[in-house]
Structure 1
Amino acid sequence: MNDGVEALLFDLGGVVVPWVGIDAIADHIGRSPAVIHEQFNASDVLRGYRLGTVDDQSFLDELKAQFDLGQDHAQLAADWNGWVKAPFPGVVEAIESLQNRFQTACLSNTNAMHWSHLHKMFDVQGLFDPALASHEMHLAKPDPVIFQRAVARLGLPASNILFFDDMMDNVLMARQMGLRAEHVDSAQGVLPVLQRLGFVA
């Protein structure tokens, strides 16, 4: 599995950092996480935010309206960022330990508020080069074009890139685009997968 791998490409939410927003909203309104996920994907505004085509205020308006969230914008923005937790234990250190052997990069479906929040929690640019975000690329996984762009930015054959994501649709599309790809349990993060593959002890 590891032969020929030159770059490790990481999703962020559920892989490097816990993302509990879907569960938090589901608990708040008494619906299943699957239904909340579907509502996110069905809303042009919510989808547009991760594509960088919707501003923060319009996103927060839609978030309130879609899920009956009564907070004012300041509190809702704080909750939105608070649902992205600090990195899984040991993950940042594990990736740092791999930088002398592999190019480490990230490819995340994210948004302006979360991207800023992530940069305050850890050194995103120091850990990942390139650090690729959907709202800056105006593309989101599993769109095949975003994988093409990521491969081009890494400057390697797709087959020499190993991608980690907690969403199986993204893993399957990455494989279809020629990358190697591993599914990550979003409750545990990527460290157990790195250990299983022999990248770290």
Structure 2
Amino acid sequence: MQAVFFDYGGVVGRLDRQEMARLEDKYGLPPGGFWHALFEIPEWYEVEVGRGSEKGWLRAALDKLYELAGRPIPGIRQEWHHIWKGVDDDVVSLARKLRARYKVGMISNATKNLEEILENHHRIIDLFDVVINSARVGMAKPDVRIFHLAAERLGVPVSACVFTDDLIHNVEGARAAGMQAFHFQSAAHLEAELRSLGVEW
């Protein structure tokens, strides 16, 4: 292995699914409704490939939440940022250790703000040799092309790359592209999976 790629949201960035469930319960949303309203609507796809506006996506997400709740729930807009809990320090620590022997990258379906968040909010952009932001390259996971592009940007064969993501369909996309890939569960679990491939640090 020559390179290890991480997803952002749900891997490097901590996504609190318990908080999602709390908001769903508080506002009378169906299970999974919060995720669906934000990330499974056409407006999100347009944003994540760099074509739509973030404001338009957020308006559409709020409308979908109202639809799912069966009533206006404007208060949720002030609370939904609570689903993000900073970075996973254990994942960041692992990435720093890996940099001593491997190239380290990020492949994320995101808005065009990702790099600014990594640089100015989390201050970890220097951790990555390359950041492949779907909104800037015009393609999104699980499209195999984004994984080939990531390997190309680092100058390594796709077969020499490992990728981890919290969404199984993105893991399957990476595997279809020729990468080794693991469904992220925790930093400790990822460490064990990497060691099973002979990755050491």
How high is the TM-score relative to the length of structure 1?
0.80
What value does the CA root-mean-square deviation take over the aligned residues? 2.6
Match of 1:109 in 2: 109
Q: How far apart, CA to CA, are the structure 2 residues paired with 1:60 and 1:170? A: 23
Output aligned runs, 1:1-201, within 5 Å: 5-20=1-16, 23=21, 26-27=24-25, 28-33=27-32, 35-40=33-38, 42-68=40-66, 69-71=73-75, 76=77, 79-113=79-113, 116-185=116-185, 188=186, 190-198=187-195
Which amino acid in structure 2 is aligned with residue 11 of structure 1? D
Deviation at 1:58, TM superposition (A): 1.1
Counterpart CA distance in 1 for 2:79 and 2:102 is 35
CA deviation vs aligned residue, 1:7-50 (integer Å, no higher than 9, x gap):
001111121121237546534342111x5444556522122122
Q: Distance in 2 between matches of 1:138 and 1:23?
A: 31
**Aligned residues of 2:3 and 2:103 also touching (Cα < 8 A):** yes
* 8-17 or 99-108: bigger deviation: 8-17
Runs of 4 or more, structure 1, over 6 Å off, are: none
For residues 156 and 28 of structure 2, the distance between their equivalents in structure 1, rounded to whole angstroms, comes to: 45
Sort the Cα spacing of 1:39 and 1:181 in 2 relative to 1 into closer, same or farther, 3 A: same
- Cα deviation 1:66-112 (Å, max 9, x = unaligned): 112414xxx93x64544322112322122111111000000011123
Return the letter of the residue paired with 1:124. Answer: I
Q: Distance in 1 between matches of 2:193 and 2:162?
A: 14
Q: Which runs of 5+ in 1 are unaligned?
A: none
Offset of residue 6 of structure 1 = 0.6
Secondary structure, aligned partner of 1:48: helix
Could you tell me which amino acid in structure 1 is paired with residue 59 of structure 2? D
The count of aligned residue pairs is: 189
The answer (yes or no) to whether the contact 2:16–2:83 under 8 Å persists in 1 is yes
Question: Taking CA–CA contacts closer than 8 Å with sequence separation of 6 or more, which of the two structures ends up with the larger relative contact order?
Answer: 1
Report if the CA contact (8 A) 1:49-1:55 is conserved: yes
Unaligned runs of 5+ in 2: 67-72
2:173 & 2:35 partners in 1: Cα distance?
Answer: 19
- Is the 8 Å Cα contact of residues 108 and 133 (structure 2) preserved in structure 1? yes
Matched to 1:170, the amino acid is: N
Normalised by the size of structure 2, how large is the TM-score? 0.80
> What is the percent sequence identity of the aligned residues?
24
